Chain A
């Protein structure tokens, strides 16, 4: 069974701080996506990483795909209250997309 473990499950920090969310697996993924979901809405795709070691930046968000394509991280610099939400990673393997259980992030003003 392929699993994607996300950590931490919950994170509450002050505005302006930095944070990193991790997504780990023992399986290799062809690609990995990160989504953000706000209450009452569907998840919104943030980024897709495909190449091992790939780094993508989206304003204050930095996404990295592990060299072995088994793990990924999301780093947020100078977090803002608008970053609050549920962050989900999802990996594609054997034509199936596997979701992590999510990291619930709360940024305190």
Chain B
């Protein structure tokens, strides 16, 4: 149980284009999802917290107009990187937090490797 999927697993796009990454909780409902960014050999950096049906909360220094987050249902959150630039190339990971007995644990997706050329 508690499986989180991400799609795509990797994507290459040209500078200036937008890329959408999906995060799904497959066997549980996630009231809260988190989006992280990870650079090589570094830990996770929280970008934003996404709550179903409300606006995402962004961490300091993260541009909300560049990283659009939509949490349309209890099982799906999307991150759209708009007007991507090479410096946006990174490993993006989502996690989902459940309800009830799952509410104090986060389950991570497998990550999406974004390369902007």
Bound-state Cα–Cα, A43 to B4, Å: 11
The distance in angstroms between the C-alpha atoms of A102 and B38, with both chains bound, is 12
A43–B44 touching, CB < 8 Å: yes
Residue interface bits B101-117, CB-to-A below 8 A is 1, else 0: 00011111111010000
- With A99-B44, A99-B46 in contact, is A90–B93 under 8 Å at CB? no
Nearest residue, chain A, Cβ from B94: A42
Of the 9-residue stretches A18-26, A30-38, A53-61, A69-77, which lies at the interface with chain B? A30-38
Q: Is B54 engaged at the interface, CB distance under 8 Å to the other chain?
A: no
Chain A residues within 8 Å of B34, by CB: 97
Pairwise interchain contact A41-B43, C-beta atoms closer than 8 A: no
Task: Tell me the complex Cα distance, A104–B46, Å.
Answer: 19
**Inter-chain contact B104/A31, CB cutoff 8 Å:** yes
Which A residues are in CB contact (< 8 Å) with B110?
41-42
Q: Per DSSP, are chain A's interface residues mostly helix, strand or loop, or mixed?
A: strand
Instruction: State A97–B30 Cα separation when bound (angstroms).
Output: 15
Interface set of A (CB-CB < 8 Å, partner B): 30-31, 33, 35, 40-45, 48, 50, 86, 88, 90, 92, 97, 99-102, 104
Q: A33-B105, A45-B105 are known; give 19 further A-B pairs, CB within 8 A.
A: A30-B104, A31-B104, A33-B106, A35-B108, A40-B91, A40-B111, A42-B6, A42-B95, A42-B109, A43-B93, A44-B108, A45-B2, A45-B107, A48-B105, A86-B43, A97-B106, A99-B43, A99-B44, A101-B43
30 contacts between A and B (CB under 8 A): A30-B104, A31-B104, A33-B106, A35-B108, A40-B91, A40-B111, A40-B113, A41-B110, A41-B111, A42-B6, A42-B93, A42-B108, A42-B110, A42-B111, A43-B93, A43-B108, A45-B108, A48-B104, A48-B105, A50-B104, A88-B43, A88-B44, A92-B104, A99-B43, A99-B46, A101-B43, A102-B42, A102-B43, A102-B44, A104-B41
